[in-house]
Amino acid sequence: MAPKDPLQETFIEGSGNTYLSLQDSIGSLTLDQKRHNRFAWWFPFVVAFGMLQVMMLAITLLVFVGTGIWGINNPVGWGFAIINFVWWIGIGHAGTLISAILLLFRQQWRNSINRFAEAMTIFAVMCAGMFPLLHTGRPWVAYWLMPIGPNNLGMWPQFRSPLVWDVFAVTTYLTVSALFWFIGMIPDFATLRDKAKTFVPRFAFGMLSMGWRGASRHWHRYEQAYLILAGLSTPLVLSVHSIVSLDFAVSIMPGWHATIFPPYFVAGAVYAGFAMVLTLAIPVRKWYGLEHIITLKHIEWMAKIMLATGLFVFYGYICEAFYAFYSGNPFEKAMMLNRMTGPYWWSYAALIFCNGLAPQILWSKKIRQNLPILMVVCFIVSVGMWLERFVIVATTLHRDFLPSSWGMYFGTIWDWGLYLGTMGLFTFLMWLFLRFLPIINIFEVKELFYKMTGRHGAPKPAAAVAGTPEKVTADE
Amino acid sequence: MGMDNEQKRNDLAALQAKLAQSRGKDLWRGLEEVSETEEFNRWLDDEFPNRGTLPHVDRRDFLKFMGASMLLAGLSGCRFLPKSHIVPHVMGPEDRVTGIAVYYATTFVQDGFGTGVLVRTYEGRPLKIEGNALHPSSLGATNATMQAAMQTMYDPDRAKLVTYRGEPSTWELALGTFRKCIEQTKKGELGPIAVLTPLTTSPTFAAWMRKFVSQTGARWYQYDGVGRDAAREGVRMAFGDDTTPVYDFKKANVVVSLDADFFSEGPGHVRYTRDFADRRRVHGEDVQLNRVYAVESTPNLVGAFADNKKRCKASEVRQVAEALATAIGMGSGGSAPASVGDSFVQQAAQELLANRGSCVVVPGEHQPKEVHALAHAMNVFLGNAGLTVTYVEPVEADSKNGVLSLSRLVEAMGAGQVGTLLILGGNPAFDAPADLNFAAALGKVEHTFHMGVYANETSELCDWHLPEAYFLEAWGDARAHDGTASIIQPLIEPLYDGKSQLELVAALCNDPRGGLDLVRDFWMKERGLTKEAWEKSLHDGVIEGTASREVAATLQPLNLDPAPATSGLEVIFRPDPTIGDGFYANNGWLQELPKPLTKTTWDNCVYVSPKTAEELKLNVWRDADNPQHDLAEVTVGSASVRAPVIIQPGHPDGAITLHVGYGRTKAGLIGDGCGSNVYPLRTTATMHFAGNASLKVVGKAKVANTQYHHSMHGRDIVRYGSVSKYKENPTLEPPGTMHIGGHGKDEDKYNLFRQGKKDHAFDGHQWAMVVDLGLCVGCNACVAACNVENNIAVVGKDQVINGREMHWIRIDRYYGSKDGAPSLDSPDTHFMPLACMHCEMAPCEPVCPVAATVHSAEGLNMMVYNRCVGTRYCSNNCPYKVRRFNFLYFTKQYEKPSLKMLMNPDVTVRSRGVMEKCTFCVQRINKARIEEKKSGVPLKDGDVITACQQACPTQAIIFGDLTDEQSQVNKWRHEQRNYTLLPELGIRPRTTYLAKVTNPNEEVEA
Amino acid sequence: MSETTLEQPRLHGILAEFDDPDDLLEAAGKAHAAGYTRLEAYTPFPVHGLSEAIGFKEAKVPWLIFVSGVIGAFAGLGLQYYTAVIDYPMNVGGRPNFSWPSFFPVTFECTILFAAFGAVFGMLGMNGLPRPHHPIFGGKNFELASQDKFFLCVESDDPQFDPARVSEFLRGLGAQNVSEVEND
């Protein structure tokens, strides 16, 4: 058993909690729809749905007219599509990190937020996954990147290309995260099945729970599988963003061709991910009265992780600049100078502010616990992480080796439309999740409560045993 | 098109007449087309991609296209062969095998002078123009205009039928009317007949014109928008009578250019460029370079190439000429303007004197006659006559001073002394000097006829428009810069209802015969050509022994009237570098061809030097990447024109340059509305430059440049050095250059992929290219040739601004100066043609997720279009950025029936969403390889010639097989000045460059 | 678990309900010590030591995951080797046909993917899930087994199974409710 965390007591706050009370505060969100504040649920949902329509429009136009509706050009062949892809993937990473890595480290406090974070991961990866397909000139044949084949011309994918690695990494990541998520929910489905009063939820959750009955043999295998799955997800999540970073690092372009990319992309991913978790968790815990389960402790600890990863990322920027000037490679030098002083200086400056400087205020405990300010910081970080990818893509490509081919890049309305659209999709799915699935892992919260309150095999006071159990007859 | 207005529209008689004389497929055309209704025109219009938004998908457009294409089915069927030949091939003709190209010799006419060309045809469809090696003006080379002319041939906006005041009519009616006019004139009921033609060298046409004149008492006037009056008058001034100077740059050790651009304009410039290049080849120890002293007003190609260059206002060139004359000891007085400086003149003079008989002074086409006269005088004085410059009998047939001739015509018209005016070709309503007010005078003429390939601004003002057959559609002849005559042989029946000017004039002399009979009879009867000689001249593309004879050049005493004082801001007028005087305004390939020096497309601009720009408060230090330029309004006298400003390093101070030819209103869908019309600023007195101009900024305008950054940023891109530097260090390599896997140099030392070499041994021919930067003059011929050969799409101004032009080969232009730092006032100019380098360790290949770009055993970097999904990763990872992506459906334009015929069947027409790039003309390689297999005779050097190489007038591009020890490409590759671009990347491009060796006279003070 | 046969016993087993996981833990231990072998405990969340208490030790799942991971690795590498070296080799930027460094990422991802499948489907398979119905669902108050009650069941195929004695024994362990669970 894990060493008892001195802080554990505060992971579930308030007195008079029982297994049932905890369960109901979460479960009834799905079973008792009245608990949903009309405004808090419907307003974001409707806005998100609207943005989703923008996405549909942007995609339709893209397919019928071509990537020319975007701002990409020669020399800047990649733009918003790749930037958003990396951004979304990065956001996804916090989910897996919370549920898998913290599980491995036996961080009990994760139990209150992992389900939520995993859902975020899956939806974020769905948003991310669209872009590599859509950004191709001929999306209808984008499936040629998969080893479904040999497809046209009797050919296979070209496995030396990082884009193929992406396909494998992202699909694996999506699949494993989804499995992890679903397995985690099976016992909760059983709980809701048994709690549900009406037929529909009973039937639906009955199907989903696959007849889970909480037998100890099942729990035994379940925990083995769950733990190892977490063990698998940890290297997976690290590999995914490393591979994404190889899209750039494998090339020969100044500013891309750098060995530091994998680590600092992963750090950046976690950074952005936690920012997003907080951005969503802070309002949700308020609206749904979950403050006693997602406590200030959680918030504060997540803020700390943001601060730490933020520092990694900042270190990454410093290294990049150092390499550029230390390398003695004239093209690298020119690239870095152009980043800082060229036409896109503003994006680099903003990047340093958003990701490097702004989060430094999190050193103060007061601020870590001041939710409005924390929200603002998280938002700034999300913007900063987007800018990071913009800086990487645009400033490298728009001025590479031969001055004759230099140019500029700006997103068009359709670039923005698709980007906002995916935000719509994300929020849309997230809000459905809030309403129809257990947003916090019920059985793990109970387990946590048990660990906090139970005797754990210590002998029971004799008095408690006294009193004869009532007679049970077969006909009763 | 409702029933009612159809009746209103159609003069039934005309319609019936038309249908009666219509041929074969015409019957399938709709009435709308026959009667050229608005609807129909709009149909044509909409369905032709508008230059701005070329590819825009829209259901209505699509339907319009469907409809119009059905209507045009008749056209697309096209009468490739003379009708008398259209019979099913029971036994196919010996010389025509489907899919095998056949070449025919014919003559391309530019500014009246002929250049011999060979035209490649497929199943009788002319497709690509190549130079004719036997023709003195070509020697196998071409220029950009000749290459792109093919698009004009198939231009859907060409005039399609005879129209009377815009309504469809017939040849019968038109000719009938004209004959009536002749009758009335003879009876004295109508004023005399006047014929206005452009300058012509065609013996047959001239003969028929004279016949017409004598039969009808008509007067023959001549005018060209951009004429050669000054050159002609200069010669007359120098020698008393008319002769034509023919230069021989092979023999010239020293060339002095007085604002001359013999690389890109004037008779024989293609030939001159080639001769010139023969004196610039550096081979190992052998560095016998000629030396060029150039004085230029508007920066031009010769100036860009010159070893010693000075800039001055166009009006000051005459002073330079006088100073030079004085310096070589003839004439008296005259000192060079400050901007040029004495040392330049003195040095030039010394070298001229030291090279008597082997030097040449070349006057600029757009310089006043005095400069020409002085230049010729100096040439004679220096004993160059008959050596480096030969004066021959005039090549132009019955040449007239265009401006004078037109003024007389306008006078006569104004005085109501012209009853009938026949304008053959040309577009005087658009390009006549403003003070003549040609349009107004035209109104006073009773009957006006205009014949032209296009119905243009002039046709609009004339009663009748007669469609002219393009040079590929009709018989004719023309003479080269040295007088050699050659036949214009049609490759295809007129696509539309056109006749040649010759046929028209003959018809008006009541000779109904076709062009073939007219031309053949002229040469066989009047010039006594035997049948064999005739056939030989058709085959060779030149008529032997027709070159003009040399005439004794005896100088007249030069009494030059004092130079007119010009003051204030000077405006220099020049023809546009790509669309010329405006005739080619509707040619997308030429519109999108970057101007050689500014890399501007689709526009004419105000070119101004940095210093003057500052004085004029123009935004000089604008952000280079921003397409927004100042929009200036230039005013000369009462006329003014608005155009975007381009800061042109090397432009003389106190002057601006404007290119005529733009601002067409009746050019067609591509040309209309591009740029602004500068002709209204030109008067009879100021045809080449005008003083006292004023300029003010009135706003901003976007300019579509293909290159925004002008310096090499200290990078080792174009290697260059003077002869002395070359002798110190033949590699001309900057210190500290890294070599990774450079050819020959420890090839595999740094190669991580030795196993890769084992897995993929190169075998068979190994294709490679060498580009001699010392020879490239930046003329764009290669770019145009590549466009035609490889079906390159035109993307339009907006897309060019977006950086999406599709040219497979581009010519980068960099400014630099001796010490590397770019000088804005008078920079060195370097050109670097750049296409796919076919790297052996191509960085584009490993990053492609679907293996759409891979390597062939012959070392070609192959692009598999139908495998490409369009991730653009290859382009991102290409250090040279030579890949081009179809962001939109750019080739939609080629769905147009007539433009479909322009497509080279050997090359895939790329669709939306795929990457493309230079293939080393793989279709030509494959053709050659097939021949090799069939004949069993191994390929020899020169069997495979890429389109760019073939077009190049200086032969700066060498392509060939590395495995052939004797091949040219091997020979040049082993030069010490051979280098790879970006060697430190270790990607081993198959295209390498030869460093540029210049031959400056260090004595000249900067 | 056991599938129904013709001569199926009437009872599935005796079910005892506890309020507190620790009581269940204790009871399970005692029952196992008392020699009952066909025991099963039901809890709303995993109670550590419970499966050991009823004498259940098994480590098949980890092995299954390991094996499927290995299969995944070979599948991934095999696919790349076959396509790039055997089926359609070509010169891609002069790289070797077998560019193993470039083939590493895909191999790794396949390993993870297959292992994850092994974990999920292995676990479900061994647990005999999905199984929508089970006799135990008929047990008294059993719906609370997923809420806040804790159950111990002595199944009828236990050698020492005798309804009366078992019920008695379980009551002795302090269960609130002891009831018979019928097979159906």
Per-residue pLDDT averaged across B370-387, rounded?
91
Give the pLDDT of residue B201. Answer: 92
Question: Residue A296 CA to chain centroid, in angstroms?
Answer: 20
Note whether A168 contacts B: Cβ–Cβ < 8 A: no
Distance CA B305, CA B777 (A): 6
Distance CA A244, CA A164 (A): 10
Chain A contacts in chain B segment 764-803 (CB below 8 A): 799, 802-803
Note whether C145 contacts A: Cβ–Cβ < 8 A: yes
Give the pLDDT of residue A117. Answer: 84
Per-residue pLDDT averaged across B26-39, rounded?
44
Give the pLDDT of residue C9. Answer: 75
Choose between C25 and C2: higher pLDDT: C25
Per-residue pLDDT averaged across B13-22, rounded?
50
Note whether B220 contacts A: Cβ–Cβ < 8 A: no
Q: What is the pLDDT of residues B163-172, one digit of tens each?
A: 999 888 889 9
Give A445→chain C minimum CA distance, Å.
9
Q: What is the pLDDT of residues B730-778, one digit of tens each?
A: 888 888 777 665 445 555 665 666 777 778 888 889 999 999 999 999 9
pLDDT band at B835 (very low <50, low <70, confident <90, very high): very high
Chain C contacts in chain A segment 184-243 (CB below 8 A): 187, 190-191, 193-195, 206-207, 210-225, 228-229, 232, 235-236, 239, 243
**Does the beta-carbon distance from B855 to C89 stay under 8 Å?**
no
Give B861→chain A minimum CA distance, Å.
16
Note whether C148 contacts A: Cβ–Cβ < 8 A: yes
Whether residue A232 is predicted with pLDDT greater than 60 in this model: the reply is: yes
Q: Which tokens in the block code for residue B468?
A: 């002219």
Distance CA B921, CA B835 (A): 11
Whether residue C91 is predicted with pLDDT greater than 60 in this model: the reply is: yes
Say if residues B843 and B987 touch (Cβ distance below 8 Å).
yes
Choose between B641 and A466: higher pLDDT: B641
**Does the beta-carbon distance from C95 to B756 stay under 8 Å?**
yes
Question: Residue A216 CA to chain centroid, in angstroms?
Answer: 32
Q: Which of B869, B885, B914 sits opposite A142 (nearest CB)?
A: B869
| Interface test mutation site (partner B, options A70, A155, A166, A402, max chain B beta carbons within 10 A) | A402
> For the ranges A17-31, A114-128, A334-348, B916-930, which has the lowest average pLDDT?
A17-31
pLDDT band at B557 (very low <50, low <70, confident <90, very high): confident
Give C87→chain B minimum CA distance, Å.
14
Bond preceding residue A75 cis, omega within 30 of 0: yes
pLDDT band at A14 (very low <50, low <70, confident <90, very high): low
Residues of chain A with Cβ-Cβ distance to B849 below 8 Å are 144-145, 157-158, 161, 163-164, 167
Chain A contacts in chain C segment 68-87 (CB below 8 A): 69, 76, 79-80, 83-84, 87
Q: Which of B871, B877, B887 sits opposite A252 (nearest CB)?
A: B877
**Does the beta-carbon distance from C94 to B841 stay under 8 Å?**
yes
Helix (H, G, I), strand (E, B) or coil at B601: strand
| Interface test mutation site (partner A, options C98, C100, C106, max chain A beta carbons within 10 A) | C106
Q: What is the pLDDT of residues C16-35, one digit of tens each?
A: 888 888 888 888 888 888 88
Q: Which tokens in the block code for residue B625?
A: 């990447």
Give the pLDDT of residue C158. Answer: 79
Per-residue pLDDT averaged across A81-94, rounded?
91
Neighbours of chain B (3+ CB pairs under 8 A): A, C
Residues of chain A with Cβ-Cβ distance to C70 below 8 Å are none
pLDDT band at B566 (very low <50, low <70, confident <90, very high): confident
Range from A148-162, A270-284, B245-259, B625-639 that averages highest in pLDDT: B245-259
Bond preceding residue B627 cis, omega within 30 of 0: no
Chain B contacts in chain A segment 56-115 (CB below 8 A): 64-68, 71-78
| Average pLDDT along chain C | 85
Q: Which tokens in the block code for residue B154?
A: 């198939």
Report the DSSP pairing between strands B767-772 and B957-961: antiparallel
Say if residues A54 and A414 touch (Cβ distance below 8 Å).
no
Q: Which of B756, B848, B851 sits opposite C94 (nearest CB)?
A: B756
Chain B contacts in chain A segment 378-437 (CB below 8 A): 397-398, 400-408
Give the pLDDT of residue B67. Answer: 54
Give the pLDDT of residue B822. Answer: 57
Residues of chain B with Cβ-Cβ distance to C102 below 8 Å are 846
Give the pLDDT of residue A389. Answer: 93
Question: Residue B183 CA to chain centroid, in angstroms?
Answer: 43
Give the pLDDT of residue C35. Answer: 82
Note whether C182 contacts A: Cβ–Cβ < 8 A: no
> For the ranges A100-114, A131-145, A378-392, B632-646, which has the lowest average pLDDT?
A100-114
pLDDT band at C80 (very low <50, low <70, confident <90, very high): very high
Give the pLDDT of residue B3. Answer: 42
Per-residue pLDDT averaged across B989-1002, rounded?
92
Whether residue B572 is predicted with pLDDT greater than 90 in this model: the reply is: yes
Distance CA B191, CA A338 (A): 72
Strand partners, B629: B701
Choose between B334 and B516: higher pLDDT: B516
Query: What Cα–Cα distance (Å) separates residue A259 from each residue in A82, A243, A385, C108?
Result: 20, 12, 19, 20
Q: What is the pLDDT of residues A284-300, one digit of tens each?
A: 888 877 787 788 888 88
If one counts every other C-beta atom within 10 angstroms of the C-beta of residue A37, the result is 13
Closest alpha carbon within chain C to A460: C23
Give the pLDDT of residue B453. Answer: 93
Per-residue pLDDT averaged across B822-845, rounded?
88
Distance CA A113, CA B495 (A): 76
Say if residues A332 and A324 touch (Cβ distance below 8 Å).
yes
Give the pLDDT of residue C38. Answer: 84
**Does the beta-carbon distance from B855 to C94 stay under 8 Å?**
yes
Give the pLDDT of residue A11. Answer: 58
Whether residue A112 is predicted with pLDDT greater than 80 in this model: the reply is: no
Give A3→chain C minimum CA distance, Å.
14
Is C37 exposed, middle or buried (CB count within 10 Å of its CB: 0-12, 13-18, 19+)?
A: middle
Question: Residue B869 CA to chain centroid, in angstroms?
Answer: 36
Say if residues B869 and A137 touch (Cβ distance below 8 Å).
yes
**Does the beta-carbon distance from B855 to C96 stay under 8 Å?**
no
Give C1→chain A minimum CA distance, Å.
11
| Interface test mutation site (partner B, options A145, A256, A404, A415, max chain B beta carbons within 10 A) | A404
Give A222→chain C minimum CA distance, Å.
6
> For the ranges A72-81, A297-306, A351-360, which has the lowest average pLDDT?
A297-306
Q: How many CB pairs under 8 A join A and C?
A: 219
Give the pLDDT of residue B853. Answer: 94
Distance CA B250, CA B606 (A): 36
| Coarse DSSP helix, strand, coil percentages of chain A, rounded to the nearest 5 percent | 75, 0, 25
- ipTM of the complex, rounded to two decimals: 0.88
Neighbours of chain C (3+ CB pairs under 8 A): A, B
Choose between B60 and A141: higher pLDDT: A141
| Interface test mutation site (partner A, options C51, C123, C140, max chain A beta carbons within 10 A) | C123
Give A163→chain B minimum CA distance, Å.
6
Q: Which of A157, A183, A444 sits opposite C120 (nearest CB)?
A: A183
Give the pLDDT of residue B79. Answer: 43
Give the pLDDT of residue B221. Answer: 92
Helix (H, G, I), strand (E, B) or coil at A6: coil
Residues of chain A with Cβ-Cβ distance to B834 below 8 Å are 402, 404
Q: Which tokens in the block code for residue B661?
A: 């030819």
Q: What is the pLDDT of residues B304-363, one digit of tens each?
A: 999 999 899 888 898 899 889 888 888 767 777 888 888 899 999 999 999 998 999 999
Chain B contacts in chain A segment 310-339 (CB below 8 A): 330, 334
Say if residues B237 and B556 touch (Cβ distance below 8 Å).
yes
Per-residue pLDDT averaged across B666-674, rounded?
89
Show the 3-state SS of A227-294.
HHHHHHHHHHHHHHHHHHHHHHHCCCCCCCCCCCHHHHHHHHHHHHHHHHHHHHHHHHHHHCCCCCCC
Per-residue pLDDT averaged across A269-294, rounded?
84
Closest alpha carbon within chain A to C102: A160
Give the pLDDT of residue B745. Answer: 52
Whether residue B206 is predicted with pLDDT greater than 50 in this model: the reply is: yes
Q: What is the pLDDT of residues A413-442, one digit of tens each?
A: 999 999 999 999 999 998 888 888 888 888
Helix (H, G, I), strand (E, B) or coil at B785: helix
Bond preceding residue A150 cis, omega within 30 of 0: yes
Helix (H, G, I), strand (E, B) or coil at C104: helix
- Residue of B824, B729, B778, B826 lying closest to B952 (CA atoms): B778
Distance CA A192, CA C159 (A): 36
Whether residue B817 is predicted with pLDDT greater than 80 in this model: the reply is: no
Closest alpha carbon within chain B to A401: B879
Whether residue B843 is predicted with pLDDT greater than 50 in this model: the reply is: yes
| Average pLDDT along chain B | 85
Per-residue pLDDT averaged across B719-738, rounded?
86
**What's the distance, Cα to Cα, between the start and end of chain A in Å?**
41
Per-residue pLDDT averaged across B18-39, rounded?
45
Distance CA C2, CA A150 (A): 47
pLDDT band at B640 (very low <50, low <70, confident <90, very high): very high
Q: Which of B843, B856, B857 sits opposite C93 (nearest CB)?
A: B843
Note whether B862 contacts A: Cβ–Cβ < 8 A: no
Q: Which tokens in the block code for residue B322?
A: 């006088």
Q: Quick one: residue A345, left, alpha or beta (phi over 0 = left, psi -120 to 50 = alpha)? A: alpha
pLDDT above 90 coverage of chain B, percent: 49
**Does the beta-carbon distance from B804 to A74 stay under 8 Å?**
yes
Q: What is the pLDDT of residues A151-163, one digit of tens each?
A: 777 889 999 999 9
Give the pLDDT of residue B17. Answer: 52
DSSP summary character for residue B985 = G
- Provide the residue type at B868 as one letter: C
> Phi then psi for B117, rounded to 5 degrees?
-135, 160
Q: Which of C89, C90, C94 sits opposite B753 (nearest CB)?
A: C94
Give the pLDDT of residue B422. Answer: 93
Whether residue C4 is predicted with pLDDT greater than 80 in this model: the reply is: no
Closest alpha carbon within chain C to A450: C21
Residue that has been written with the tokens 């499948």 in this structure: C117
Say if residues B152 and B470 touch (Cβ distance below 8 Å).
yes
Distance CA B153, CA B899 (A): 9
Q: What is the pLDDT of residues B217-274, one digit of tens each?
A: 889 999 998 888 899 989 998 888 889 999 999 999 999 999 999 999 889 999 999 9
Query: What Cα–Cα distance (Å) separates residue A63 from each residue in A70, A82, A138, A172?
Result: 12, 17, 8, 26
Whether residue B74 is predicted with pLDDT greater than 60 in this model: the reply is: no
Whether residue B820 is predicted with pLDDT greater than 80 in this model: the reply is: no
Give the pLDDT of residue B22. Answer: 47
Q: What is the pLDDT of residues A359-414, one digit of tens each?
A: 999 998 888 888 899 999 999 999 999 999 999 999 999 999 999 999 899 999 99
Q: Which of C89, C90, C96 sits opposite B753 (nearest CB)?
A: C96
Per-residue pLDDT averaged across B684-688, rounded?
89
Give the pLDDT of residue B794. Answer: 93
Q: Give the CA dihedral A39, A43, A45, A50, nearest 10 degrees.
A: 160
Q: What is the pLDDT of residues B865-893, one digit of tens each?
A: 999 999 999 999 999 999 999 999 998 88
Per-residue pLDDT averaged across A239-259, rounded?
92
Say if residues B290 and B280 touch (Cβ distance below 8 Å).
yes
Q: Which of A156, A210, A220 sits opposite C58 (nearest CB)?
A: A220
pTM of the model: 0.87
Note whether C110 contacts A: Cβ–Cβ < 8 A: yes
Give the pLDDT of residue A336. Answer: 92
Note whether C121 contacts A: Cβ–Cβ < 8 A: no
Range from B73-77, B259-263, C180-184 that averages highest in pLDDT: B259-263
Give the pLDDT of residue A291. Answer: 80
